[in-house]
Amino acid sequence: MTAMFKITNISRITLVIGALALFIMLKTPIWSIYLTAPQYPEGLEMKIWHDTLTGDVRVISALNHYIGMRAISVDMFPEFEFIGPAIIGVGVLCLLLALIGRWWSALAYWVVLAIADSLALYDFWRWGYDYGHNLDPKAPIVIPGMAYQPPVLGYKKLLNFEAWSLPDTGGWILMGVTGISLLIVGYEWWRNRKHRVAVTKPAGAGIALLLPLFFVQCSTGPQPIHYGTDNCAFCKMTLMDKRYGAEIMTKKGKAFKFDDVNCLVLFEQEGTVKPEDVAGRYITDFAHEGVLLELEKALFLHSDNLKTPMASQVAAFATPDDLEKIKTQTGGETLAWKQVPVLFD
């Protein structure tokens, strides 16, 4: 038995239905953005289709003008010209792969959708970053260092507005078909597990293709902090000072990032993440920008002369020499990690 083995009829039919369901995205909104604020208790909504925008677009654009954002219009999305053909192309390709009815074709079906999902989310993030950072310096409201990038998925606080970015009908269809196809690939592989030794090189190549995607999603090591983009999980401020920052990684690969060490401590005290779910805790090396240290192994300097983002007045170092160089300039007290949380009780 090789990667050419047939999948069950029910799996094939499910994949065919999933491929056909993708075409519904041409007639339904794909994504929605919701905004609420004290002056708009009923909320504002913008729906993103494959070729247009609907909802309270004009009102949102007018509000964004005050903080220097460009007016939102269909013309600013060149993607609208090819999203429709892309949906048709992906749908037809997935339908053909489903009709082939082999394990390798089911695997390819999922890979095609996973790539489509990833590219769509990346493009949305790229647009949001540009839209939220390239602001008019002559805007009525200017807050130095402030960025207004909308969330790609989930919730974010933007000044006095609360923003939610969520899949709409088309988005849920795409995510659902992608998830179901992955389950089918896993089930069919499990059903034929006795024959795994005989899987040929093409199957091995397919699995090798999946491994990077798997490790990207499931890695529990430290993730780089994107200053100017990432927001603190506790105080919601944008991380700006590259000498400071901290991070909690969960065993499921989720990263919680913080602009100052006291934000991490207070976040842990809230119990949002259970201790048994934590895979690692990391802190930015004050002396080496971009380097994350294991929290328990770092050395800490507490000084009134350290100007930290949220006034913790604590910096982390990898070596005693690095710490002492700064201590000669600022004064202060050298601490081990177990002594740091006490400062914020």
283 beta partners: 246, 293
Residues 6+ apart with CB under 8 A from 193: none
- How far is Cα 327 from Cα 335, in angstroms, rounded to an integer? 12
* pLDDT exceeds 90 at position 196: no
Ramachandran quadrant class, 41 (left: phi over 0; alpha: psi -120 to 50; beta: rest): alpha
Q: Is the pLDDT of residue 339 over 90?
A: yes
CB 163 within 8 A of CB 34: yes
* For residue 137, pLDDT beyond 80: no
Which residues are CB-contacts of 184 (< 8 A; sequence separation ≥ 6)?
7, 11, 14, 15, 106, 110
Q: What is the pLDDT of residues 221-241, one digit of tens each?
A: 788 899 898 999 999 999 999
Structure confidence at residue 217 (pLDDT): 44
Q: Can you give the C-alpha Rg of the chain in angstroms?
A: 24
| Residue 308 scores a pLDDT above 90 | yes
Confidence of residue 211 (pLDDT cuts 50, 70, 90): very low
Mean pLDDT of the chain: 86
C-beta of residue 4 within 8 angstroms of C-beta of residue 102: yes
Q: Report phi then psi at 142, rounded to 5.
A: -130, 120
Average confidence (pLDDT) over 141-162: 76
Q: Which of 8-17, 190-199, 276-285 has the lowest mean pLDDT?
A: 190-199
- Quick check: 3 pLDDT over 70? no
- Name the burial class of residue 144, with classes exposed (0-12), middle (13-18) and buried (19+) by CB atoms within 10 angstroms of its CB: exposed
Average pLDDT over residues 144-163: 78
Confidence band for 199, pLDDT divided at 50, 70 and 90: very low
Q: What's the half-sphere exposure (Cβ side, CA atoms, 13 Å) at 196?
A: 8
pLDDT of residue 72: 86
Of 54, 9, 12, the residue nearest 170 (C-alpha): 54
pLDDT in tens, 233-273: 999 999 999 999 999 999 888 899 999 999 999 999 999 89
Q: Show the tokens assigned to 89.
A: 């192309």
Q: Tell whether the model's pLDDT for residue 200 goes beyond 50.
A: no
What percent of the chain is modeled with pLDDT above 70? Answer: 89
Segment 39-52 shows an average pLDDT of 90
